[in-house]
Structure 1
Amino acid sequence: MATGVSICSNALLMLGAQTINSFTDSDNIDRAKLCSNLYPTVRDDLIRAHPWNCCVKRIRLAPNATAPAFGLAYAFQMPSDCIRIMEVTSRNYQIDYKVEGRSILCDEAAIDLRYVFKNQDESTWDSSLVSLATLAMAARLAYSVTQSASMEQSRMQEFQMALRVAKAVDGQEEPPETMGDERLLAARMGGGW
């Protein structure tokens, strides 16, 4: 079962370094601190970089009690675990919206949100994402552990190539997106509004 510690330990192994047992490992305190400092940022950047199927949620949002000062009619608080918005819809149609701070502003009274969430439970990740996180950590740790710029560059190139493949594979699990205004298409096909 994958964990943040196992991902970091495997990255250290790839660099020929001693593994850690926890982020507070007293036997390898320097490497444990390095991993505990770098891993959350690497994890969140990797999750945000692509809408991984294992990191996607849906939620229906109700508007905040306080409306925006001007412009749009409603404000919705983004979920606390949201790190990337994928789609905002109302009544099954994509809508125009703005993001300001941690709020979504629009003219609809209720919205459905599909988003990438900060999935901190690595045991729920796809095996490709676990492998990518390991490669990303190896690239990020490479210079600190080996003092070799060429090792850092080599690990980064390996990560970049694996990222392209993993994104393609993950993206093939979803049907292709449609183009155009669904409301217009529905009206033309007799579906109306």
Structure 2
Amino acid sequence: MATDIQIASLALTRIGHEGVTAFSASGNKASRWFASNYEFIRQALLREHSWRFATKRTYLTRDTVNEITGATAANPVVITIADGHSIANGTEVFITGVVGMTELNNRAYTTSGATATTLQLVGVDGTSYTAFSSAGSLTEYVVSEYAYRFALPSDCLRILRINGAERDDYRVEAGYLLTNEGEINCEYIFDNTDESTFDAQFVDLLASRLSAEVCFYLTDNSTLTEQSWNIYNNKLRMARGMDSRQGTPRGLDADAWLDARV
């Protein structure tokens, strides 16, 4: 079972450099480099392929869509959500789909005066607005081409599939998955920080990537650096191919398509 120090030392020996015993900002040149760069490079490599040892599945929690049941033509406008809400004062909210008092639609507001079923829209004078008729939704995110927003797991590096399909319509933005699907079963690459669970071929690959990244910094040798990158790219193709064989193929693999274009 590998450790981060063992992987780093393997990377260093491949370019003729002594290994490290720790990652430290106050250590030698190699130790300082790994302290600053190891985690970033490990995450980047995990994102590059659907590695089986770094794949998880989970159900995502959908952000609440609050159904509006009333809006006063007053100063300030008071919104009623009969089923109740958990929106704190000072929260930015967005309103869409109101019938009647359409002046409220597709705008952002700041809340205040919240009760269990109502909240005020700060600075919004609705005394001249059309009377509220029905409907409307209030959310803590902008509803545009997608109706729903789901928070991604904190360890998510890359979405692979949602609801068992590779071509579903969704978008990932700022830690959230936006979609028109009301429920999401998500398959994703997670930020696997436990090197002891890494596939042996991935350990070899990560060491090669680190060798290529650190080579010129430590050796000032452009030829050796180029050779290190060539070795890494060859190992990457082999590792992707081997990993992809661990299960039934799912049609055209994006990695294979990209490799074919190179």
| TM-score between both structures, scaled by the size of structure 1 | 0.84
Q: Does 1:118 align with 2:191?
A: yes
Task: Specify every segment of 5 or more residues in structure 2 that has no aligned partner in the other structure, as ranges.
Answer: 65-138, 253-262
Structure 1, gaps ≥5 residues long: 180-193
Preserved contact between residue 68 and residue 74 of structure 1 (Cα < 8 Å): no
**Candidates 158, 162, 181, aligned match of 1:84:** 158
CA distance in 2, matches of 1:174, 1:106: 28
User: Which residue in 2 is equivalent to 1:37?
Assistant: 36
CA distance in 2, matches of 1:77, 1:15: 42
Structure 1 residue matching 2:145: 3-state secondary structure: coil
Matched residues, percent identical? 30
List structure 1 segments (4+ residues) > 4 angstroms apart after TM superposition. none
Write out aligned runs for 1:55-66 (5 A).
55-65=54-64, 66=139
Kindly provide the amino acid, as one letter, of the partner of residue 160 in structure 2.
M
Name the larger-Rg structure.
Answer: 2
Aligned length: 176
Does the CA-based 8 Å contact 2:205-2:232 persist in structure 1? yes
Amino acid aligned to 1:10? L
Distance in 2, Cα, partners of 1:82 & 1:118: 6
Q: How does 1:94-109 map to 2 (within 5 A)?
A: 95-109=168-182
1:171 counterpart residue number: 244
Provide the TM-score with structure 2 as the length reference. Answer: 0.63
- Tell me, what secondary structure is at the counterpart of 1:153? helix
Aligned to 2:14: 14
- Is it true that 1:157 corresponds to 2:230 in the alignment? yes
Q: Note the alpha carbon deviations across 1:99-148, whole angstroms, 9 max, x for none.
A: 22211112222110000111111110100000001111111111112210
Which residue of structure 2 lines up, in the alignment, with residue 189 of structure 1? none
Deviation digits for residues 21-60 of structure 1 (CA, Å, limit 9, x no counterpart):
110286x522100111121121111111101100100001
In the aligned structure 2, how far is the partner of 1:93 from the partner of 1:57? 15
Q: CA 1:25–1:83 in 2, change beyond 3 Å: closer, same or farther?
A: closer
